[in-house]
Amino acid sequence: MKLFDKSGVFFKYQGDVLKWKWPWARKLHGYPYHSFVLNRDFNSFREYWAMQGADGAMIKLSGGSGRIHGFDLVEDVLPRWSARLWPNEYLVCLTNVNPKAKGPKFWAMIDQSKRTELLQDVVILCCKDKTEMENLLNSIDRSFAVAFGILNGEIIGETSMGPCLP
């Protein structure tokens, strides 16, 4: 294991690998630590253990037994994850994005960084209100992506359902 690089110092901690970031490498998010098992940044070890407890509780609530647990991306993961990161925000979540469904003209209109984001496994579009979310859902063709409208961890619309539910 490499002990340090240009972004920080790596060390083992309770079965995890943590990185303490150099002060100049924190400018983007501001958190001094990163957990590779949790795949999250945090400010203190107290916050780390709180995240460990929340993840442990989520695994216990999953209903799985033994050492293997299955989660449905749409029913379990996306709603819980989005509710935690974007509370009280209307979101459109895209999955199964098919770049071939859009022509070169569409991709030429989008800058490189947004193109890269649109080609990820899950794409989150933050909307300013419910109307914008509904308009986005209604404009996304099912051949391009499967889209879900989410608010506070609840799926409130889907591309295959036509207009969003009230």
Q: Which residue type sits at 18?
A: L
pLDDT, tens digit (0-9, with 9 covering 90-100), for 74-94: 888 888 888 888 888 899 999
Is residue 27 very low, low, confident or very high in pLDDT (cuts 50, 70, 90)? confident
pLDDT category at 34 given cuts 50, 70, 90 is confident
List the end-to-end C-alpha distance of the chain, in Å, as a whole number.
Answer: 52
Does residue 47 contact residue 62 with C-beta atoms inside 8 Å?
no
pLDDT confidence of residue 133 = 92
Higher pLDDT, 51 or 143: 143
Q: For 143-157, what is the mean pLDDT?
A: 88
Contact 150, 165 (CB under 8 A): no
Highest mean pLDDT among 46-55, 61-70, 80-89, 147-156: 147-156
Mean pLDDT of the chain: 81
Rounded distance, CA 112 to CA 43, Å? Answer: 32
Q: Cα separation of 149 and 79, whole Å? A: 10
Report CA-CA distances (Å) from 135 to 43, 53, 128, 157.
38, 38, 11, 11
Residue 58 in contact with residue 76, Cβ under 8 Å? no
CA–CA gap between residue 10 and residue 152 (Å, rounded):
35
Residue with tokens 């958190």: 31
